[in-house]
């Protein structure tokens, strides 16, 4: 028993070799880690007079896009305007939109995390739900290391006057992927419109239901009061003979 205790002590409290790992991709640069066409779409609820911000990574010279649409608004004013601002990593304002829906698309001039802020300062007493779709895509991007290799290949191909079928297939594949990506972008914007119309129809249905119920109660109450008033007009008081008027 005494021999087992030191063994357990070494197993449980032995020397730590390195501690927690914080760099899971030590052999990868940020160029390789964050590179690629990506897309995110989700809904977020912005509170009354609130501000919600998100960050997304993009490289210099690539395309950054953002599409948004207000789905529903609660409160008294029901102002559907939303103030949207996109800032560069150096805090430079890249684009601003103040509307219920909009699209932002620009070429990034810096490499880093771009900030997207959504402000609901128009509604002081009402929240709103916003559907977002944002991301980056790369038109004609080529990695510097790959460009050097491709230049060498092109020189060799030019000297040999050979047609590289694989390069043609690769270029056509990238074009198809790019067109499919943009197709999904427009599809998401159409889905935004559909969801916004659905919530608008739902709110109108609730409004018509409650307003019809209120008018029905008002009509019934007014009819009852009118009937009670007319009934009182025809009430005759029956008195005794002593109280009858005499000639």
pLDDT in tens, 19-40: 434 444 445 555 555 555 678 8
Span of 55-69, 120-134, 167-181, 209-223 with lowest mean pLDDT: 167-181
Specify the pLDDT at position 143: 53
Best mean pLDDT range from 5-14, 81-90, 198-207: 81-90
Domains annotated on the chain, with CATH: 35-201 (2.60.120.680)
pTM above 0.85, yes or no: no
Contact 25, 33 (CB under 8 A): yes
Query: What percent of the chain stands above pLDDT 70?
Result: 68
pLDDT, greater one: 47 or 141: 47
Average pLDDT over residues 154-165: 60
Average pLDDT over residues 141-151: 59
pLDDT, greater one: 229 or 245: 229
pLDDT at position 54 over 90: yes
């Amino acid at each position: 028993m005494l021999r087992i205790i030191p063994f357990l002590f070494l197993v449980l409290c032995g020397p730590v070799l390195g501690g927690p790992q914080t760099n899971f991709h030590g052999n990868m640069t940020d160029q390789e880690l964050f590179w690629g066409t990506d897309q995110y779409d989700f809904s977020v609820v912005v509170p009354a007079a609130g501000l919600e911000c998100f960050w997304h990574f993009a490289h210099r010279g690539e395309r950054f896009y953002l599409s948004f649409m207000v789905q529903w608004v609660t409160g008294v004013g029901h102002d559907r305007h939303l103030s949207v601002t996109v800032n560069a990593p150096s805090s430079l304002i890249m684009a601003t939109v103040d509307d219920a829906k909009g699209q932002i698309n620009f070429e990034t001039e810096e490499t880093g995390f771009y900030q997207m802020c959504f402000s609901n300062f128009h509604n002081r007493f009402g929240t709103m739900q916003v559907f977002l779709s944002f991301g980056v895509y790369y038109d004609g991007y080529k990695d510097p290391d790959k460009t050097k290799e491709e230049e060498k290949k092109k020189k060799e191909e030019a000297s040999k006057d050979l047609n590289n079928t694989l390069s043609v297939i690769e270029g056509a594949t990238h074009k198809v992927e790019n067109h499919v990506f943009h197709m999904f972008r427009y599809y998401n914007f159409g889905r935004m419109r559909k969801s916004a119309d659905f919530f608008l129809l739902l709110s109108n249905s609730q409004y018509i239901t409650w307003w019809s119920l209120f008018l029905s109660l008002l009509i019934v109450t007014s009819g009852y009061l009118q009937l009670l008033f007319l009934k009182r007009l025809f009430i005759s008081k029956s008195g005794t003979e002593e109280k009858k008027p005499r000639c």
